[in-house]
Amino acid sequence: MRPNIPPDKFAEWLKQLPEETIQSGNEQERKQTEESYKKFVQYFRNGVCSICSKPLKTFSANSPCLHWLLRPKKFKKKHFTLLYNKFTYF
């Protein structure tokens, strides 16, 4: 977990971490990413969104989801606001 410090101090803090701590964090992240990918593939094959668990064809302004980006004909510029209010980069 990242401590609440400025970016330059954070970089210094990272450099001081023991190698085994870094490797452990990397392995944990790899496992979590692999599990997320497997879930995504399984849901996608079934035509379901792995984020909201609704069919990929679903498009409702009351329930914004990133799978909307797969439906460019229905997705309009005005819908971006709904998405970025609900989702962040992280």
pLDDT tens string 65-84: 999 988 778 888 899 999 98
* Global pTM value: 0.69
Query: Which structural domain range is residue 57 located in?
Result: 22-86
Q: What is the DSSP letter of 39?
A: H
The per-residue pLDDT for 74 is 81
pLDDT above 60: residue 1: no
Distances (CA, A) of 29 to 10, 26, 77, 79: 19, 5, 33, 31
Q: Which two tokens stand for residue 82?
A: 């709904």
Q: How many domains does the chain have?
A: 1
Domain assignment present for residue 47? The answer is yes
Domain assignment present for residue 8? The answer is no
3 pLDDT tier (thresholds 50, 70, 90): low
- The closest of 30, 31, 70 to 50, measured between CA atoms, is 70
Domain assignment present for residue 6? The answer is no
Burial pattern 33-58, b for ≥16 Cβ within 10 A else e, equals eeeeeeeeeebeeeebbbebeeebee
The per-residue pLDDT for 56 is 93
Give the span between the Cα atoms of 20 and 53, in whole angstroms.
37
Domain assignment present for residue 28? The answer is yes
Rounded to a whole number of angstroms, the CA Rg of the chain reads 18
Domain assignment present for residue 73? The answer is yes
Domain assignment present for residue 59? The answer is yes
57-69 pLDDT tens trace: 988 888 999 999 8
Per the DSSP assignment, residues forming a β-bridge with 48 are: 55
The per-residue pLDDT for 2 is 53
Domain assignment present for residue 2? The answer is no
Domain assignment present for residue 49? The answer is yes
4-49 pLDDT tens trace: 788 888 888 888 999 999 999 999 999 999 999 999 999 999 999 9
